[in-house]
Amino acid sequence: MKHNYILPLFLLFQILFLKIIAFFPEIVERFYSNGIYPIISKALRTILGPIPFSVGDILYGILIVYCIYWLYKNWKTSWKQKGLAILSFLSVFYFLFHFFWAMNYYREPLFEKMNIRKEYSDNDLIVFTEKLIQKTNEIQFEITKNKNNKVVNPYTQEVVFDLTENGYDNLTKQYPFFKYSIPSRKKSLFSLPLTYMGFGGYLNPFTNEAQVNYKLPMYGFPAVVTHEMAHQMGYGSESECNFIGFLACIKNDDLYFQYAAYSNALRYCLSNIAKKNEATFDQLKKKINRGVLKNYKESEVFWEQYDTIIDKGFHAFYDQYLKANQQQEGIESYSKFVDLLINYYRNRSF
């Protein structure tokens, strides 16, 4: 029947539309990111935010069970029927995905909005990393009073959720477009699978809940939460959300938030240097307080427990997902926030 082809054809139309709209980010910025999306996101967070558990995770669970049931029930139908039904489902899913959140992938880049350059030299990276080392060491010592002690975040995860707003409130005074309201931050019910997949959290685009992996080491937990909150605000780029999350943490009055941001940024910078010059990396590493290195080791040991072929598979899939959504560097885009940091702080101090 002809109506069976409507939704599959609509899927093709959507794909073509997105290919075209990618050339007009200013339209997406004006009419979606600053028009339709804030209304959708605030409505979802108002309704679902007060619910203490992750509604989005439950919906995903139900969807997975239903898909398995549907495949079992329709296994004997023709491949054509199954194909059209699957394409019809994907068409509706694809539309809702973009309508509720993912059109933000096509908005104006943050470096244009904030007038930040993207290029930097190897020397720029080294100089900035040395500044980060000094600042991270300073906060680590202020917290522990001992260069050799790792930072132990004393807060519960619920308290961290509550404290995140202080940083965004302070950041908004400088940049009003980073205003965050109507909180909806949840510990993901899928934290164990997320850990095996190698992820610290995600934003559910259909419920606008910031899902955080509650198994993560606590010293870096604030940086993960502020990153996912940046996604809630309508930023799709992983590098931009790392950057916004960093700013929200260092603007926070709490030292544990500041430490989470600086130590996380330092780790990314060191990783970039290690890829280019291992000798320089070794020299810089000697300048870092042992307590900071112990926190890095804490993370390393944590992730090693769950290092299987599963996370490699999901990272490969997510890499392609990001490339398909305006992030050409794929999973490497997370570390690209170093570009934003270096150029943002060219004429600024921490």
Per-residue pLDDT tens for 159-182? 999 999 999 999 999 999 999 999
pLDDT tens-place string over residues 266-324: 999 999 999 889 999 999 999 999 999 999 999 999 999 998 876 667 666 666 766 76
CA distance 49 to 175: 24
pLDDT at 334 over 70: no
User: Does 81 lie in the same domain as 22?
Assistant: yes
What range does the domain containing 292 cover? 110-344
Last residue of a domain, one of 57, 80, 106: 106
Question: Do 5 and 87 contact (CB within 8 A), yes or no?
Answer: no
Tell me if 349 is assigned to some domain.
Answer: no
Which pLDDT score is estimated for 173?
96
User: Which two tokens mark 249?
Assistant: 């943490």
Of 73, 88, 106, the one marking the end of a domain is: 106
Same-domain pairing of 91 and 164: no
Q: Report the alpha-carbon distance of residue 14 to residue 119 in Å, rounded.
A: 34
For residues 137 and 288, the answer to whether their CB atoms sit within 8 Å is yes
